[in-house]
Structure 1
Amino acid sequence: MSAQARKSPLRASQGTTRSTALRAIPSQPDQSDIRQATLSDYATHLRASNNKHGRPYQEKTVRSYVESVKALDAWMSKAGVEGDFTSVDVITLNLFFRAYHQEHEQGGTNTVQRNLRPFFLWLEEEYDHANPYRDKKFQRYAPPSAGKPKTLSADFISDLLKVTGNGSPRVREFEKLRDHAIIRVLTEGLRAEELLSLRLDSLHLEQGLLQVVPLKDARATGEGRVIPVQPKTAVALTRYLRARESHKLSDSDWLWLGTRNRGHLTYSGLYRLLNRRAQEAGYDSVSPHQFRHTATDDMLSAGMSGEDVMTIQGWKDPTMLRRYAADMAASRAVKAVRKLGDRY
Structure 2
Amino acid sequence: MLFEYATYLRTVNNKHGRPYQEKTVTAYTKAVKAVAQWMDRQDMPGDFTVLDTRTLNRFFRAYYATHDRGGTNTVQRNLRVFMAWLEEEFDVPNPYRDKKLQRYAAPTGAKPKTLAPEFVTDLLRITGNGHPRVKEFEKVRDHAMIRVLTEGLRAEELLSLRLGDLHLSQGLLQVVPLKDARAAGEGRVIPLQPKTVIALTRYLRAREQHKLSGGEWVWLGSRNRGRLTYSGLYRMVNRRAKDAGYVSVTPHQFRHTFANDLLSSGVSEGDVMTVAGWKSRSMVDRYASDMATTRAVKAVKSMGDRY
Could you say which TM-score interval applies, normalised by the shorter chain? 0.7 to 0.9
Aligned-partner Cα distance in 2 for 1:81–1:173: 53
In structure 2, the CA distance between the partners of 1:175 and 1:314, relative to structure 1 (3 Å rule), is same
Offset of residue 337 of structure 1: 2.5
What's 1:103 paired with? 66
What is the match of residue 336 of structure 1? 299
Deviations 1:135-187 (A, max 9, x none): 44443222335657511111111122222232333444433322221111010
**C-alpha spacing 1:96/1:321, structure 2 compared with 1 (3 Å):** farther
- Secondary structure in structure 2 of the residue aligned to 1:254: coil
Taking structure 1 as the reference length, the TM-score comes to 0.76
Taking the TM superposition and a 5 Å limit, the aligned residue runs for 1:64-213 are 64-76=27-39, 78-79=41-42, 85=48, 88-125=51-88, 130-145=93-108, 149-213=112-176
Q: Which ranges of structure 1 fall in alignment gaps of 5 or more residues?
A: 1-36
SS in 1 for 2:174: strand
Query: Counterparts of 1:91 and 1:317 in 2: how far apart (Å)?
Result: 37
Report the secondary structure of 1:210's partner residue.
strand
What's 1:43 paired with?
6
Residues 285 and 43 (structure 1), Cα distance of their counterparts in 2 relative to 1, 3 Å cut: closer
Gap runs ≥5 in structure 2: none
Is the 8 Å Cα contact of residues 58 and 216 (structure 1) preserved in structure 2?
A: no
Question: d(CA) in 2 for partners of 1:257 and 1:70?
Answer: 30
Q: Compare 63-72 and 141-150 and name the one that shifted more.
A: 141-150
Contact 2:111 2:286 in 1 (8 A): no
> 3-state DSSP class of the match of 1:227?
strand
Quick check: 1:149–1:328 contact (8 Å CA) kept in 2?
no
Say what the alpha-carbon RMSD is for the aligned residues: 2.9
Aligned runs of 1:245-284 on 2, under 5 Å?
245-284=208-247
Deviations, residues 227-265 of structure 1 (Å, cap 9, x unaligned): 111111112111222222233332221212233333332
Q: Hey, what's the Cα distance between the residues in 1 that align with 2:194 and 2:248? A: 28
How many angstroms apart in 2 are the aligned matches of 1:234 and 1:110? 40
Which residue of 2 is the match for residue 237 of structure 1?
200
CA distance in 1, matches of 2:135, 2:48: 58
Q: Distance in 1 between matches of 2:178 and 2:60?
A: 28
Contact 1:208/1:229, CA 8 A, preserved across alignment: yes
Q: Confirm or deny: 8 A CA contact 2:112 2:253 kept in the other structure.
A: no
Instruction: Give TM-score, length-normalised by structure 2.
Output: 0.84
2:270 to 303, 307, 327: 307
Amino acid at match of 2:142: D
Q: Distance in 2 between matches of 1:333 and 1:250?
A: 47
SS at match of 1:272: helix
Relative contact order (C-alpha < 8 Å, sep 6+): which is higher?
A: 2
Residues 278, 341 of structure 1: alpha-carbon distance in 2 compared, 3 angstrom cutoff: same
Taking only the aligned residue pairs, the percentage that are identical comes to 70
